[in-house]
Amino acid sequence: MIIWHPYTHAALDPEPLEIERAQGVYLYPRGGRRLIDAISSWWVTLHGHAHPKIADAIAKQARKLEQVIFAGFTHEPAEELAAKLGLALPRSLNCVFFSDDGSTAVEVALKMAVQFWSNQGKPERKHIIALEHAYHGDTAGAMSVSADSDFTLAFSGMRFPVWRAHAAYCFQCPVGKSRDTCSIDCIERLQQLLEMHGDEVAAVIVEPLLQGAGGMIVHPVEFLQKIRELTSRYGVLLIADEVLTGFGRCGRMFACDLAGIEPDIMCLSKGLTGGFMPLGATVSTERVFEAFRNGDRRHTLFHGHSYTANPLACAAAIANLDIFRDEPVFERIGGIAQIHQEQLAQFQNHPAVADIRTVGTVAALELRTNDAGYLSQLGHQLRRFFLEKGVLLRPLGNVVYILPPYAITREEINLIYDVIKEGLAFC
């Protein structure tokens, strides 16, 4: 039987490496030397691999209730997780819909937003505004709101049309300004779109503060604040896709907290279970929920997955939130952010480095190359080199980034930077 691996070219990419076990920040390949997981296994692992509290919680739950249909039924892990999420989230987000992963959390958010309006007799408000460079997942709806890219090229016929606003990609400012002197002028495109089409728009969707797969693009907080201001002014819902940024990645529990804003809908996944189990959550305000609670059965949110609110995944997520409560997680996060700041300074005038970006636990170097973009040869060369050096890094084309588990030590981060510095010889 052939196994089809994600984002992997069966002929051009190397054979997959078999990982036998993992512990803390380390992956242990069969018969090979250990690797530092510098990207948290695709941005999911928070407190380290095999954290005993999460592992035990899953095992305990598996002996009690492993799964039950969630339509017409509920269970303790889902109820407890909802209550604990409620304490962590911005106060206005007090309704939760569970699904399976980041893409489904986004699909649900889009459908929720569109049906919110149609349930209120405004079916014309069905369009979505999304940002350039966006990435929201690989299912059809999530792909539609993601930017046009090599990822979506083959699927243009499957994607629904969206209006596109500028992203605050300050390194290549879409309106030719400089961050030192600009007044977030790139926001004007969104304002124009809302001015022209506001009455037909259901929602604006954004990755708050950090666009991940689009190249680890860090936005000024003012950009997100202005998006909230505009969506409120034009009466349009704001969807914050915190699938990557949620659970401390940007330095606060949610990126929205850093900007002091509350969206109408928020998408969560990845770190939600500490990286142990697939689980998605789409949280909303009660105003959104209320549009579905009326006398008309056709106003049901007709969406669900077999494993919605899987009890094992909920138990993992509860244990994850308990670790935030019981361990000095935000101290660790602050420590990582500090080391990034110190280490990145050495790349300021490096001839191979075009731009340096960091927010919270995430740091990125955009490298100079003739074939910039996700398919850059440089990225593939570097990936192989880093693995040979004992570090799992997976550049997004010519953007090398570090996004480590919070359990990482200063020495381990320093080692990752040493390996990156050596890798710049390829540029």
Q: Work out whether 137 is an interface residue with ligand PLP (CB under 6 A).
A: yes
Which residues have a Cβ under 8 Å from the Cβ of 175 and sit 6 or more positions away? 166, 185, 186, 188
DSSP string of 129-149, one letter each residue: EEETT----SSHHHHHHSPSS
Pairing between strand 163-165 and 127-131? parallel
Task: Identify the three-state secondary structure at position 343.
Answer: helix
* Residue in the shown chain whose Cβ atom is closest to ligand PLP: 102
What single DSSP character describes residue 90? -
Q: Work out whether 61 is an interface residue with ligand PLP (CB under 6 A).
A: no
Q: Catalytic site residue 26?
A: no
From 135-143, 149-157, 169-177, 415-423, span contacting ligand PLP (CB under 6 A): 135-143
Q: Which is nearer to ligand PLP, 45 or 269 (CB)?
A: 269
Q: Which is nearer to ligand PLP, 104 or 376 (CB)?
A: 104
From 89-97, 132-140, 148-156, 190-198, span contacting ligand PLP (CB under 6 A): 132-140
Site residues for ligand PLP, 267-306, by CB under 6 A, read 269
Q: Which of 82, 213, 238, 392 binds ligand PLP (CB under 6 A)?
A: 213
- Where is 127: in which H helix or E strand? strand 127-131
Per the document, the length of the chain is: 427
Closest CA to 313 of 141, 87, 65, 116: 65
Q: Catalytic site residue 7?
A: yes
Q: Work out whether 343 is an interface residue with ligand PLP (CB under 6 A).
A: no
Contact (Cβ atoms closer than 8 angstroms) between residue 405 and residue 46: yes
Q: Which of 98, 116, 117, 135 binds ligand PLP (CB under 6 A)?
A: 135
Q: Work out whether 241 is an interface residue with ligand PLP (CB under 6 A).
A: yes
Q: Which of 39, 201, 230, 243 binds ligand PLP (CB under 6 A)?
A: 243
Site residues for ligand PLP, 100-129, by CB under 6 A, read 101-103, 106
Q: Work out whether 263 is an interface residue with ligand PLP (CB under 6 A).
A: no
* Long-range contacts of 171-177, Cβ-Cβ distance < 8 Å, separation of 24 or more: 171/217, 171/354, 171/355, 171/357, 171/366, 174/132
Q: Which residues of 342-359 are buried (b: 16+ CB within 10 A; e: fewer)?
A: ebbeebeeeebbbbbbbb
- To ligand PLP, the closest distance from the beta carbon of 101 in angstroms equals 4
Q: Catalytic site residue 322?
A: no
Q: Which is nearer to ligand PLP, 187 or 240 (CB)?
A: 240
Q: Work out whether 207 is an interface residue with ligand PLP (CB under 6 A).
A: yes
**Token representation of residue 153:** 């090229």
Q: Work out whether 214 is an interface residue with ligand PLP (CB under 6 A).
A: no
From 96-104, 147-155, 162-170, 336-344, span contacting ligand PLP (CB under 6 A): 96-104
Q: Catalytic site residue 241?
A: yes
Q: Which of 25, 204, 244, 266 binds ligand PLP (CB under 6 A)?
A: 244
Helix axes 410-423, 377-388, angle to 10 degrees: 130
In sign, the C-alpha dihedral spanning 188, 256, 252, 27 is negative
Distance between CA atoms of 369 and 389, rounded to whole angstroms? Answer: 22
Show which residues are catalytic: 7, 135, 241, 270
- Residues contributing to the site for ligand PLP (CB under 6 A): 101-103, 106, 135-137, 207, 212-213, 241, 243-244, 269
